[in-house]
Structure 1
């Protein structure tokens, strides 16, 4: 008959719990003894019951095995502690190096601004002068490029304005070269349009005439 799978959880019944503890304790200590014999291993097991009663097994002296366990625990946690300390030291060293670099860069920037130059040697001053001249060259080049762009933009605006003036002048000249009768017709059309828009003229009073050919004098 196949045994059912037992759910691992706290046994609520006190009697059942004590019976299970007794059986499993004996089985655990038996397995520890078998492991020590079969594998020639040093095995120790310590069990406290719910009431605080001690049950133990040791393949050799229990105290010696506990001392040995403490030594191994110290070595393990000691190595871990040393590793953490080493990591902290490395971080501190990296932080110190970064702070030194930042300080050097800040001092270099102050020197480029003309500050803290008393401690500079002749060679350092030459180096600073070279860097400043190089920076000025780059700035002047950028400024010249911007000026060229502005000049080209102004030239384009002037050309566009000149073309507009030429177009207006051409239209004015064309109007002046028109025959007098076309100019009078244009003026008359403008007057009529002005009168219509102002609302002072009755549309029924407007006389229209259609003619083909040259205009003739009206009676």
Structure 2
């Protein structure tokens, strides 16, 4: 089982904190000495106790090591600063990007049919070819979308037909023939008083509607 890492925090007890400091300080000084001997490294270690007491170790002069450290950090900061050549290169890159942006803006206006007064016949032919290619790609994509929609509608039609068949079987409106196929059946009349449904007139009339006949009521006695 993997144990979680114990969170390191300050020792609250002053006596325990002082004992721990002494042990860890001696161990750190020992490791610094071993590193300098085993690896022939230039090591300088500075420790200040909580009370401000200084402990240090250096396998050579502490001042020389500190001076070397300061020179190294100064050189590192200087190397990170952009040189004059780098700044000029960045300016050139920015100018080239601005030119490319302007060219793209000009091409965009030409494709929109603007700014064509200064174009030669060759440039106009190039613009025309680009537009024809774009229209061809758009039409191809449009045809593909139509095909995908048709396939989706066909699948939806199959699902609806299957659902319609299921509901018809549930209501008893589908009968099974001897050969195993299914056909629509007739709905039996609920009683003798049922009346046939008259045909609905669907003929379209053009013109004013025919005059309605007035229904005469019998005179009252």
TM-score in terms of structure 1 length = 0.45
The structure with more helix, counted as a fraction of residues: 1
Computing the radius of gyration from Cα coordinates, the structure with the larger value is 1
